[in-house]
Amino acid sequence: MLIVMNHNATQADVEAVNRTVKEMGYTAAPIPGSERTAIGVLGNHGYVDDTTILELPGVQRVIHVSKPYKLVSRDFHPEDTIVDVSGVRVGQGCRPVMVAGPCAVESEEQIIKTALFVKKMGADMLRGGAFKPRTGPHTFQGLRGEGLKLLARAGKESGLPIVTEVMSPDNVGLVAEYADLLQIGARNMQNFDLLREVGRIRKPVLLKRGMSATIEEFLAAAEYILAEGNEQVILCERGIRTYETATRNTLDLAVAPLIKELSHLPVMVDPSHATGKRSLVPPMALAALVAGSHGVLVEVHPEPEKALSDGPQSLTFPGFEQLMEEMRRLVAFLGYE
Ligand code: PEP
Ligand code: MN
Report the atom number in ligand 1 closest to the C-alpha of 209: 9
Please tell me the number of the ligand nearest to residue 309's CA. Answer: 2
Q: What pLDDT is attached to residue 2?
A: 92
pLDDT recorded at residue 122: 98
List the domain boundaries for the chain. Answer: 2-63, 83-333
Beta-carbon contacts of 265 under 8 Å, excluding residues fewer than 6 positions away, are 72, 81, 83, 222, 233, 234, 235, 259
**What's residue 43's pLDDT?**
85
Mean pLDDT of 273-287: 98
Domain 83-333 has CATH 3.20.20.70: yes
Asked if CATH classification 3.30.1330.20 holds for the domain at 2-63, the reply, yes or no, is no
32 pLDDT band, cuts 50/70/90, is confident
* Rg, Å, the chain Cα set: 23
Q: Tell me the ligand closest to 307's alpha carbon.
A: 2
Q: What is the mean pLDDT of residues 295-300?
A: 98
As a whole number, mean pLDDT of residues 84-98 equals 98
Residues with CB under 5 A from ligand 2 (ion): 103, 310
The pairing of strands 2-5 and 88-90 is: unpaired
Task: Output the pLDDT for position 143.
Answer: 96
Mutate to test the pocket of ligand 1, among 209, 238, 309, 313 (most ligand atoms within 8 A of CB): 238
Q: Are 182 and 166 in contact (CB under 8 A)?
A: yes
What pLDDT score does 48 carry?
Answer: 87
Average pLDDT over residues 112-128: 98
Q: At what angle do helices 255-262 and 215-227 cross, to 10 degrees?
A: 50
Quick one: what percent of the chain has pLDDT higher than 90? 92
Summarised one tens digit per residue, pLDDT across range 226-252 is 999 999 999 999 999 999 999 999 999
When pLDDT is averaged across residues 27-47 and rounded to a whole number, the result is 87
From atom 10 of ligand 1, which residue's Cα is the shortest distance away? 186
Q: In what order do the strands lie in the sheet with 2-5?
A: 27-31, 38-42, 2-5, 59-63
Q: With 0-12 CB in 10 A as exposed, 13-18 as middle and 19+ as buried, what is 55?
A: exposed
Report pTM. Answer: 0.91
How confident is the model at residue 47, as a pLDDT? 82
